[in-house]
């Protein structure tokens, strides 16, 4: 260990306590990985237990020009939580208390390390829920969801993280490690420029979130769910458009392509079966209207060629049938498909989850163009997504040993992002920018005539983080 590194670790142990600072290489390697196993390096891992710990760390980092990489559960998919040079991993998992729940005021106060799944387990006892539910909901943390601006399956109904953060306590990367509270516990609040929304989605580049007041909503009285299998994604997309025209109170609308369906049916406990591309739709309605709503949805499904349809009048019936199991198994199913199709059993597979959005009216064209790219580049992929709000997630895979496809991969990814941009959507719907979508961000802003925004963002970064020590080289 070099002298500078040893000095830094000893300083941090003295300032924070030996039980909060770790320099074990195996542990650092473990925390240095993200959800798709990108690996980074760091001098040490710090696990703070209070806002004061975070403040002391950021103050020390500022005075010693030390880079800090904040992270929650490290479930991001674009490299936002991965350290990329010598610095400190700041993992907030120990700050995991739910401090207050007010159903009268419709909020919960929580620390950043609380997992979304655990939060909803607690809120369900009050008849409430927190509606942001990314695919990684069982492991994703509140802090990570805030910093990534997370969305999820209920996004079309309830929106994304930016719609649910009322108040934040954050620590700034300055000389004093300034602790600052912004926003308020009321839905209506005017405090000049909206700094709360600026922090949401900033991917840990502006400040470290140490506490959040989140808006909560009542659990719907009753939800009906229908699932069906379509011969083509174009037919499925047309069904989606007709459902959206019919003014149902849609809670969830998800799709999964035929390849994923086949693999997932072999590896999940779902009680349904079928062939083709799957559409799952959940609608909020009363129990009295359940049959009428389900029959209307079934008519639309069958009008567009659905071959097999399953219906559930309640959430319990849906869970018993396992109607959502195939969709929730999407990433795992993609890995299984990739493993089965590799040229050699010993070859290493890398799965890249992509994330674009288009206006729902452009879904048919977007799906068609993505499939054309798959043929053009000869690189396989699966498709799924939150189709009600036009969010499509292509999972693309290559073998590490396939140098030709590895060289083509960045071009394919750029072309997929371009589809989102050109159809009036975006190249990043909910995964963020991190390190992998920085060029896509520039292209999108240029396409919209908004390149000046990059200059403004860089100025904001300098104001919050004058030394550039907080999650450097991410986003911009």
Q: Which residue has the tokens 């195996």?
A: 26
Using CB atoms within 10 Å of the CB of residue 401, give its burial: 0 to 12 exposed, 13 to 18 middle, 19+ buried.
middle
- In this predicted structure, what is the pLDDT of residue 36? 67
Distance CA 458, CA 362 (A): 33
Distance between start and end Cα atoms, the chain? 32
pTM for this entry = 0.93
- In this predicted structure, what is the pLDDT of residue 79? 80
The string of pLDDT tens digits covering residues 255-280 is 999 999 998 888 888 899 999 999 99
- Cβ(413)–Cβ(352) below 8 Å: yes
Distance CA 108, CA 93 (A): 18
Query: pLDDT band for position 1 (50/70/90)?
Result: low
pLDDT over 90, % of the chain:
77
Whether the per-residue pLDDT at 148 is higher than 80: the answer is yes
Average pLDDT over residues 160-184: 98
Alpha helices in 249-323 (DSSP H): 258-267, 290-303, 315-321
Distance CA 62, CA 467 (A): 7
CATH number attached to the domain at 223-328: 3.30.70.2190
**In the numeric block, which tokens belong to residue 27?**
């542990």
Distance CA 214, CA 237 (A): 34
Whether the per-residue pLDDT at 35 is higher than 80: the answer is no
Any idea which fold 338-454 has? Answer: Alpha-Beta Plaits (3.30.70)
- Cβ(253)–Cβ(243) below 8 Å: yes
- In this predicted structure, what is the pLDDT of residue 278? 97
Cα 217-221-223 angle, rounded to 5 deg: 100
Whether the per-residue pLDDT at 41 is higher than 90: the answer is no
Q: Which residue has the tokens 């195939």?
A: 326
- In this predicted structure, what is the pLDDT of residue 406? 92
Average pLDDT over residues 276-293: 96
- Cβ(441)–Cβ(158) below 8 Å: no
Q: Of all helices (H) and strands (E), which one includes residue 44?
A: strand 44-46
Give residues with Cβ within 8 angstroms of 25, minimum separation 6: none
* Domains 223-328 and 338-454 in one fold: yes
The string of pLDDT tens digits covering residues 43-76 is 999 999 999 999 999 999 999 999 999 998 877 7
Q: What's the whole-number average pLDDT of the chain?
A: 93
Distance CA 331, CA 64 (A): 41
Sheet holding 208-215, edge to edge: 98-102, 107-110, 208-215, 165-171, 179-183
Whether the per-residue pLDDT at 423 is higher than 70: the answer is yes
CATH number attached to the domain at 3-93: 3.30.43.10
E strands in 165-299: 165-171, 179-183, 208-215, 217-218, 223-230, 250-256, 277-284
| More confident: 35 or 443 | 443
The tally of CA atoms less than 13 A away on the side-chain side of residue 378 is: 7
**In the numeric block, which tokens belong to residue 125?**
């006892």
Average pLDDT over residues 90-106: 98
Task: Parse the chain into domains and list their residue ranges.
Answer: 3-93, 98-218, 223-328, 338-454
The string of pLDDT tens digits covering residues 409-418 is 999 999 999 9
- In this predicted structure, what is the pLDDT of residue 74? 79
**In the numeric block, which tokens belong to residue 15?**
């300032």
Domain over 98-218 is classified CATH 3.30.465.10: yes
Q: Of all helices (H) and strands (E), which one includes residue 102?
A: strand 98-102
Inter-helix orientation angle 51-63/3-16, to 10°: 150
């Amino acid at each position: 260990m070099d002298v500078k590194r040893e000095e830094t670790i000893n300083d941090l142990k003295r300032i924070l306590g030996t039980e909060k600072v770790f320099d074990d290489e195996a542990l650092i390697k473990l925390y240095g990985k993200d959800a798709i196993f990108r690996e980074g390096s760091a001098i040490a891992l710090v696990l703070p237990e209070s806002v004061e710990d975070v403040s002391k760390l950021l103050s020390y980092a500022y005075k010693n020009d030390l880079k800090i990489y904040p992270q929650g559960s490290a479930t991001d998919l674009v490299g936002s939580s991965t350290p990329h040079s010598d610095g400190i991993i700041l993992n907030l998992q120990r700050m995991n208390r739910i401090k207050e729940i007010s159903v009268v005021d419709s909020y919960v106060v929580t620390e950043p390390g609380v997992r979304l799944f655990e939060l909803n387990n607690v809120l369900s006892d009050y008849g409430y829920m927190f509606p942001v539910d990314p695919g990684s909901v069982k492991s994703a943390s509140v802090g990570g969801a805030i910093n990534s601006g997370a969305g999820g399956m209920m996004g079309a109904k309830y929106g994304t993280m930016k719609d649910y953060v009322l108040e934040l306590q954050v620590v700034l990367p300055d000389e004093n490690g300034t602790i600052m509270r912004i926003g308020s516990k009321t839905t209506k609040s005017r405090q000049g420029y909206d700094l709360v929304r600026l922090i949401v989605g900033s991917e840990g580049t502006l400040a470290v979130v140490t506490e959040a007041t989140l808006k909560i909503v009542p659990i719907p009285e009753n939800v009906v769910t229908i699932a069906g299998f379509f011969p083509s994604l174009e037919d499925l997309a047309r069904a989606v458009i007709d459902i959206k025209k019919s003014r149902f109170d849609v809670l969830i609308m998800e799709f999964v392509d035929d390849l994923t369906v086949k693999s997932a049916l072999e590896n999940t406990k779902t009680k349904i079966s079928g062939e083709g591309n799957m559409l799952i739709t959940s609608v909020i309605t009363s129990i009295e209207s359940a049959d009428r709503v389900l029959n209307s949805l079934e008519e639309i499904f069958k009008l567009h060629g659905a071959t097999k349809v399953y219906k559930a009048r309640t959430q319990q019936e849906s869970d018993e049938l396992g109607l959502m199991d195939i969709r929730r198994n999407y990433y795992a199913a993609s890995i299984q498909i990739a493993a089965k199709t590799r040229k050699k059993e010993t070859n290493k597979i890398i799965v890249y989850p992509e994330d674009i959005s288009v206006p729902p009216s452009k879904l048919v064209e977007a799906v068609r163009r993505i499939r054309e790219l798959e043929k053009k580049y000869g690189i396989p992929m699966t498709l799924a997504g939150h189709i009600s709000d036009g969010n499509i997630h292509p999972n693309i895979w290559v073998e590490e040993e396939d140098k030709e496809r590895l060289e083509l991969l960045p071009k394919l990814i750029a072309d997929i992002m371009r589809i989102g941009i050109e159809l009036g959507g975006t190249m990043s719907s909910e995964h963020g920018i991190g390190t992998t979508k920085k060029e896509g961000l520039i292209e999108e802003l240029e396409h919209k005539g908004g390149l000046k925004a990059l200059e403004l963002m860089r100025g904001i970064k300098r104001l919050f983080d004058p030394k550039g020590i907080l999650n450097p080289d991410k986003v911009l």
